[in-house]
Amino acid sequence: MTFNSETSGLQESDSRSASESSVATKEVALKVEGLTKQFDAAEDAVTAVDDVSFSVPRNSVVGLLGPNGAGKTTTIKSILGLVKPDEGDIEINGVDARANPHRMHEHVDAMLEGARNDYWRLTVEENLRYFAGLSGTDPTVANERYTDLLEKFDLDDKRDVVVRNLSRGMKQKVSVASVLASESSIVFLDEPTLGLDVESTAVLRRELTKIIDERDLTVFLSSHDMDVIEAVCDRVIIMEDGRIIANEQVDALLEMFDRQRFEIEVEGLDNDVRSTIERSFPTAEIESVGDRIQVAVSVGDDGFYSLMSHFQQYSVSIVDIATGTPDMENVFLELIGRDDD
């Protein structure tokens, strides 16, 4: 792992044992068991991560989703040894990460808290060359890897620019590229598209997918960007209030909800009726489209009929109904809604 002084805080103890050097769990890249972390606050203690267990198969991409404060960052930092968990076991490529942090760090690299893994006084190329050359990588291989990344991430024309002088979005791109330049087989990315414009996000999504396939990487990423999750991830873990509320294949998650997205254009939806609809369908998106109002919901059959009967009861006329497949964001909102019931 290649944290610089800004991000490091690693424990120094590194007890190696013969039994741990034999990697027993070949198929599992990351295994977390009973992870718990409480922070002491002035009044109450906050349980940021509450008995969380999951595993990430090798060569898969797992997305971690959840609202602000759900415990995503604390989970990732605990795995990386940047936060000391109260309880729990963490294995990375079969290595007990808590007992052997240095050995674990040979397998992983991470981009945390937006673009802080780079050396801001070095140029883009110097950063990528540095990270590609770590761990004694053959110079020809390192050279090929970082040159390829400069091209893939459209960074060629910025190669001689000092990172400090880049825009925030550019820094973010260099940061992701630096992590991918290293030899690590397991990569953690915390909000990789944060601060990127639409075009850069699309480039990152496309190139990340390619690189993951080419290099057989295992990736664990947190994101609020549902398009990234849907495009890149095989599996998604959803956290809320420190707990896992779903851990499913992306496709299965969409199927599990067997819902349709309905976009219904209506007339006669006054403010009182609107409030009633919002109370009964808390995840409905209601917005004005010209002189009409569009009500969008992701619901099953029962939900749809219930909405129709609300419209009928309050004399709201339906102008048009369009249907589609719900995206991850809708599924996520439904899950959170369901959990609050």
Ligand X SMILES: Nc1ncnc2c1ncn2[C@@H]1O[C@H](COP(=O)(O)OP(=O)(O)OP(=O)(O)O)[C@@H](O)[C@H]1O
Binding site for ligand X (CB under 6 A): 39, 41, 46, 48, 66, 68-74
d(CA 80, CA 309): 52
State the CB neighbour count (10 A cutoff) for residue 234: 16
Q: Which is nearer to ligand X, 86 or 255 (CB)?
A: 86
- Tell the smallest beta-carbon distance from residue 16 to ligand X (Å): 30
Q: Which is nearer to ligand X, 65 or 269 (CB)?
A: 65
Pairing of strands 317-324, 260-267: antiparallel
- Tell the smallest beta-carbon distance from residue 147 to ligand X (Å): 34
With tokens 């330049």, the residue in question is: 181
- Tell the smallest beta-carbon distance from residue 255 to ligand X (Å): 26
Q: Compute, in degrees rounded to 10, the torsion defined by CA atoms 203, 208, 210, 216.
A: 170
d(CA 30, CA 79): 9
- Tell the smallest beta-carbon distance from residue 187 to ligand X (Å): 18
d(CA 170, CA 275): 43
Q: Which is nearer to ligand X, 46 or 286 (CB)?
A: 46
- Tell the smallest beta-carbon distance from residue 37 to ligand X (Å): 8
Q: Which is nearer to ligand X, 75 or 294 (CB)?
A: 75
CB 63 within 8 A of CB 221: yes
Q: Is the dihedral of CA 114, 133, 93, 79 positive or negative?
A: negative
Q: Which is nearer to ligand X, 72 or 105 (CB)?
A: 72
